[in-house]
Amino acid sequence: MYLKQSEVNIHLIIQNWVRVLNIELGWIYAFDKMVIEYVESFFFYGKYFQLVKILKGHDGGINSVRFSADGRRVVSASDDRTIRIWDVASGQQMEMFEGHFHSVNVAEFSPDGQIVASCSSDRTVRLWDLKSGTEVRELQGHSDWVWFVNFSSDGKHITKLLAYGTQNRVACLKQLHGHSDIVRRAKFSPDGQFIVSGSWDKTIRIWDVESGKQLQLLEGHTDIVTDVKYFPDGQTIVSCSFDKTIRLWNVKSGQEVQRLKIRFGTLKCVDVSTDANTIASCSDNGIISIWG
């Protein structure tokens, strides 16, 4: 007796369900586990994001957006020479800092959320106290534009990158060669074992820190990749590009698992909240988008 297609589908679902139970209980061969893990690597079990809020206020393009450690605020840096603090839940601007004489390239919260560090094409790094709303320190003497600033995990140190650091390689004790054009961004994985880089060559690459070898090549963007970042669990990467898309990638398979698209502007930066439930992106039209 032949089964109808719907009945066949039901049987397959039940068989797969039993098979998963067997995997968890260790009742099948190791080879089968390897096969199932390989197949599962092509599926995305995380959250699917959609646009939930737009933040407006900047008078120029926005170069960076970063979450605070608690995910309740974002800080943005803009060509309008200002740094602005926003409440994620309400979308309201909470604070604005002025003092730079040129475009602000990056602004970032300290780990304790009390200080914001900013860097600018005016060749300075500045520190801002959130409680008083004032600039508390200016670091001068740089020989070129300062493109990037980052707090150490304990909040005691700041790293910075000058404009001349734009070669088509990633430097991390070793030189990691593979990109065919300028490396726009490079970030460590949460466990520090890997680096993800995004380039003008439209590709994203994953590197092993210890060996310096390229592990994955992620292709799909049709224009310059402007930013990349690992999700907190290290299993997903988010990227943005001049092609107006934000893409999520499965680290294990290298497959694109979700694509978000903006209608106007050029995407410059993307960040993920520490609970992995919210994505923030910014563009050159002065808009911050919140995805949840």
* Bridge pairing between strands 82-87 and 134-139: unpaired
Q: Is residue 15 part of a domain?
A: yes
At residue 182, the pLDDT reads 81
User: CB-side exposure of 218: number of CA atoms within 13 Å?
Assistant: 27
At residue 147, the pLDDT reads 78
What pairs with residue 127 in β-bridges? 117, 137
DSSP per-residue letters across 3-50:
PPHHHHHHHHHHHHHHHHHHHHHT-S-HHHHHHHHHHHTTS--SPPP-
At residue 186, the pLDDT reads 82
At residue 166, the pLDDT reads 42
Question: Which 8-state DSSP code applies to residue 219?
Answer: -
Q: Is residue 23 part of a domain?
A: yes
Q: Is residue 14 part of a domain?
A: yes
At residue 271, the pLDDT reads 98
Q: Is residue 27 part of a domain?
A: yes
Distance CA 219, CA 255 (A): 9
Structurally, the chain folds into a number of domains equal to 1
Q: What's the domain range around 24? A: 5-40
Give 10-residue mean pLDDT values along the chain (292 residues): 45 52 51 50 68 97 97 98 98 98 95 94 93 92 76 64 44 68 84 90 93 94 96 97 97 94 95 97 97 96
DSSP per-residue letters across 47-60:
PPP-EEEEEE--SS
At residue 58, the pLDDT reads 98
Q: Is residue 20 part of a domain?
A: yes
Q: Is residue 32 part of a domain?
A: yes
Q: Is residue 16 part of a domain?
A: yes
Which residues contact residue 124 at a Cβ distance below 8 angstroms, ignoring those fewer than 6 apart? Answer: 100, 138, 139, 140, 142, 146
Q: Is residue 33 part of a domain?
A: yes
At residue 210, the pLDDT reads 87
Distance CA 92, CA 101 (A): 25
